[in-house]
Amino acid sequence: MRKAIFLMIVLLFLVSSCGETPERGKEINYKQGFVDITIAAEGNKEEYQNQPLELPISVHNTLAYDIGEVTVSIKGFDNHYVELYSAQQQLALLEGRSVFNHEGMKERFLFEGLLKSLLPGAEKEQEDYRVHVYYKSKVEFSPSICVAAQQSGGYVGAAYETYQGACTFQKEISYSGQGAPLGVTNLEIIPRQGKQVELRMKIDNKGKGKVGKVTLASAAIGGKPLTCEFRGGTVENSFLFEPEEKSVTLICAGYLNSDAAYTTPLFVELWYDYEINQKETMVILE
């Protein structure tokens, strides 16, 4: 009898534990901070001449979003010493961190080739190379913000930086990223007359890589679509970063539900392509 009671207690504990795990996972917000993928060369740092080469490269997606159209390339080897049979590999999708995958997915790419002979009399040759990773992904900006229409006196957004109504209106708010290398760092809320509002979002690349094109996929306030454009952009809903460019401003306009201050959700989704590279070294021995 005691054994049966003990087994029932164990089973109840296991069932309750399984039921609680998803709830604990929901409390984790991965869409915060600035994050880069992790690249690691997992092969030997020293290899011998005239031998087959196996060069494993791992890519770990620790972003809060999936990455797609992933291309991993090896560049920089001297062809006199290293011959790669294929210097590029691709992957359709690599999952990011989520409630169902706390660590994000890691993929291992194996590059094979041949190590050739050193020069006569040489004891070793140091080969510096780079691992390039290109991918496409997205980032979501979804805060709840306090908004208010401009009154006849123009006090909201004009004379005051903050205004206390049903919520505390702040003209300018700073953010620390949304779980990707690219993210919104600053939001300026500018009330306009006629229940209109202008939103200016500074979007920064805080990662170690380079952003190519950023495209606005959707933007809404309180469920109502926003009309947006990138400052300095020449293509509708898109902006092309120059090689050394790190930030751009997205300007949006929309309509509010009330003249009075109230809290409402803001949602912006951006798609972007990204390239990051990492320097590695391998020594070829005699």
Structure tokens at 207: 């990662």
pLDDT for the residue numbered 165: 63
* pTM recorded for the entire structure: 0.84
- 79 DSSP β-pair partners: none
Higher pLDDT pick, 140 / 192: 140
SS3 61: coil
Residue with tokens 């760092």: 185
How far, CA to CA in Å, does 66 sit from each of 101, 139, 275? 11, 10, 15
Q: How many residues does the chain have?
A: 286
Phi then psi dihedrals of residue 6, to 5 deg: -60, -45
- In this predicted structure, the answer to whether residue 23 has a pLDDT above a threshold of 50 is no
Give the model's pLDDT for residue 89. Answer: 98
- 43-65 pLDDT, tens per residue? 999 999 999 999 999 999 999 99
